[in-house]
Each structure stands twice: as C-alpha cells, then as structure tokens.
Amino acid sequence: DLILKVMGTMPSPREARQFLSKFSPTTTTTTTARAAPAPSATQKKGDTDFVDTLLWPTDHLALIKLEGPFKKPDLAAIANTLVQLQRLGLMSVVMLDNQTWWQETGGLDQAAETRQRMMKDMLELVEQIEKSGGKARPVSEDIFEAPPHRRPGHDRIAQPQQLQQPHEPSDEVTIRPGLCPIQSCLKLQQIPVMIPMATTTSSHRVPVQSNEALVALAKYMGSTVQQDSVPPPSGAGQHGHGPLVPMRLVVVNTTGGIPLTRSNGIDGPTHCFVNLKDEYGAILDDLDHMDSISAPLAKSYRSDLAMIKENPKVMLATTVLRSGLDIFTFRNSLEGLDLRRLQGLLESSFGKPMDAEGFYARIQDRTKTVILAGQDYMGAAIVTREGGTLRDPTRGELGGRL
C-alpha cells in the first residue's frame, strides 16, 4: 500500500523509476571466493570498513525542521510520515522549533523553563515515532556550541519596541567537532530528534534559536560532501560514514510556506512567495550548501506526501526551491557535444543499450536543437526535424519542420 501510494504521486512512469533509483539502497555484487594468503593488518582493516559500508542503512538524508505547536493527532501524522519516508530509503534528521518555548512566565529561571518545554516536545515526538513502528532517539546535547558569553535568555523574541533599534549581528552557533550522536543514530536506523540546545565552552547549556542551530547543522552536513565514503573503525575518526549532505531540506509548519525570520525580532506567520529583489542573494547562499538536485521544501503538516513530490502542479501550499543546473543549448548540429557521455545518459534513461553510431548518423543532419542540463550531462532534450527536407548547409536556413 505504501509503495502504491507513493507511485500514485508520480506524474509519469519515468519519474517513478527515477524516484526508485534515487532512494533505493545501492546494490552490491559478489564474486566467488578464492584461496588467498592470510590477510595483513591493513587488509583486515579494509575488510572491516567494507563490512561497515554494507551494513550502513542509507546515504539518503532529509533535514527536517518541525515548527510547532502541533496538536497530538497532527504530531502523530507527522511521525507516521517520517517512518514511511525511512521505509522508502529517506532517513530524516529532525530539528524541533516552537514559538511557545520563549513565552515569559514570570519564573525565576526562564532558561530552565525553556529547556523543559524543549525536552517535553522532543520526547513527545520520539514517542509518536515509536508508536508508528519506527525508531527514534532524542539528541539534546553534544551537537551545538555557543559562544562563551552567550547567556540564558539571550535568544528570546524581541519585543515590538526593540525593532526600532539597529540590529547587531548575533554570534553564530557552531557545530561541535564531529557529529557522533547523529551518525550513531543513522547507523542504528534511529531517527535523530534534536532541540536547539547549545553548550558553551564553560559547559553551560543554553537554548538558542532553532534557525541558528539549523543553519549551523546544514552548513556542516553540506561540507561533508568531499569526505571519504568509507566509515572509519569504531572509535576512530570524527566524520563517520560518507557525506551527510541532505537530499531534502523540509520545513513543516501549521500553515505551509516560508517562515518569517525571527532572529531580527519579527514574530509572525509564514509567506508563500519569494521577493527576488530582497531575498535572491540569501536564497542562493542557502542553496549553495546543498546538492544541485536537492529540493528544499516548505510545507504544511497536512500535505504529508509533499515531502516526496516535486511537481509544482499538485503541490498547492508547498513551496519548492532548488539550486538547479546550468543549461546549454546546441543548435543545428552535434558539434561541441560529448557524444560518449550523451550516449551514457540516453542508455541510463531508457534502460537499454543503443546503437550509438547508427543513431548519431541518423540525426546528424536532422538536429534542430540539443538542450543539455548540467556540465556533467544530468539531462538532455534532443529536437530533430522529421517528415520534411533536411537542413540546407549552403543557405544556413532551416528546412522541413519539427
């Protein structure tokens, strides 16, 4: 039922195959064992790393921010969606946020009360995930690091009268060396559920804005793309298994749309449009931390399948942003194209070998336009003239018809 539900969201069989190939676990081939001399210590280490690679559940990650407060049935629906995504091969790394955390109650220790609210929400989501048949682990420390002078209450939402004051850039929250708790969760197929709690160099635990923590986490995960894909032995190294670059960046809230920034003291709803004049540079900077084909989404908790779909025609309130690929256009000939790489793209797209020599000979004089997506040949569209006369090279004009 789950697979049928997912396949029903796809506009075409080809996109369905692309989805399955993107999120299915990578297959490995086996060879017949042969007698060999006793392995050396280096060989044993390599064998251990290879086994760890096979046991690693998935490399497909989604960085998900949940902006509450959510009612209990809605939280249960979100937890069920996270479990379904895991079954499909997309592992979630969850960051929680809730505007009610920062409400003033008149207590003596406001920071302690904020921490209690954060812990309560975190444990509730973990419980709902496990009720849905999944596994989750609360992660409340050893991830984020705050400046030593960061004080409890530093991140409270500014009052309206404070908005008139010049904005001073806040000190950035950073990632502590290594992400061992998160990597441990992923290897055990547990969904890490985090709260924006940072530790100062003086060992004080202080709550910080979720947006700050999320940006720090996204930057770190995006920087791991250059790291080796083989996990280090247990207890050695800090990078764990492979790159942690998320394939999805999802913001789930009660309304859908892009959340308004609260770091400047602005508290309010979300918006479903992008002001390119004002926000284009910031969006490009954010997307630069992700893969070119990764899709950040901003969605309502009611549209659970929007975490999977990427077709804007059926996404309603969900907002999709993507860095995208460079587009190159070749007109009237195949000159300038890497025909071998184009052949590889066509064969992988249609799932069968092609007679490259015969194909290129046929379209050589019929080529109208070739549109290439990405310098590494991620996609292509070939337009040829059919049913009419061929191009007249002496006139430099187009003959026939499309």
The pLDDT tens digits for 362-372 are: 998 889 999 98
**Residues 288, 294, 299: CA angle, nearest 5 degrees:** 105
Residues 6 or more apart from 142 whose CB is under 8 A from it? Answer: 176, 180, 181, 199
Q: With bands split at pLDDT 50, 70 and 90, how would you rate the model's confidence at 238?
A: very low
Give me the mean pLDDT over the 251-262 stretch: 66
Tell me what pLDDT residue 359 has: 92
**Superfamily grouping for domain 2-22+41-320:** Acetylglutamate kinase-like (3.40.1160.10)
Q: With bands split at pLDDT 50, 70 and 90, how would you rate the model's confidence at 62?
A: confident
Which region among 127-141, 204-218, 343-357 has the lowest average model confidence (pLDDT)? 204-218
pLDDT tens per residue across span 71-129: 899 999 999 989 988 887 888 999 999 888 887 776 667 778 888 899 999 999 999 99
Q: What share of the chain is helix, strand, coil (3-state, %, to 5)?
A: 35, 20, 45
> What pTM value is reported for the model?
0.56
Q: DSSP states of 335-378 as a string?
A: TT--HHHHHHHHHHHHTS---HHHHHHHHTTTEEEEEEETTTT-
Which region among 176-185, 231-240, 329-338 has the lowest average model confidence (pLDDT)? 231-240
Tell me what pLDDT residue 48 has: 55
Share of the chain above pLDDT 70, in %: 52
For CA atoms 3, 9, 14, 20, give the dihedral sign: negative
Average pLDDT, the chain: 69
Q: What residues does each domain of the chain span?
A: 2-22+41-320, 327-384
Does 191 have pLDDT greater than 90? yes
Q: Which of 54-63, 251-260, 298-307, 392-401 has the highest mean pLDDT?
A: 251-260
In angstroms, what CA-CA distances link 217 with 28, 110, 123? 31, 26, 21
Q: With bands split at pLDDT 50, 70 and 90, how would you rate the model's confidence at 68?
A: confident
Does 222 have pLDDT greater than 50? yes
Tell me what pLDDT residue 183 has: 83
Does 32 have pLDDT greater than 50? no
The residue ranking higher by pLDDT, 358 or 241, is: 358
Does 193 have pLDDT greater than 90? yes
Tell me what pLDDT residue 235 has: 40
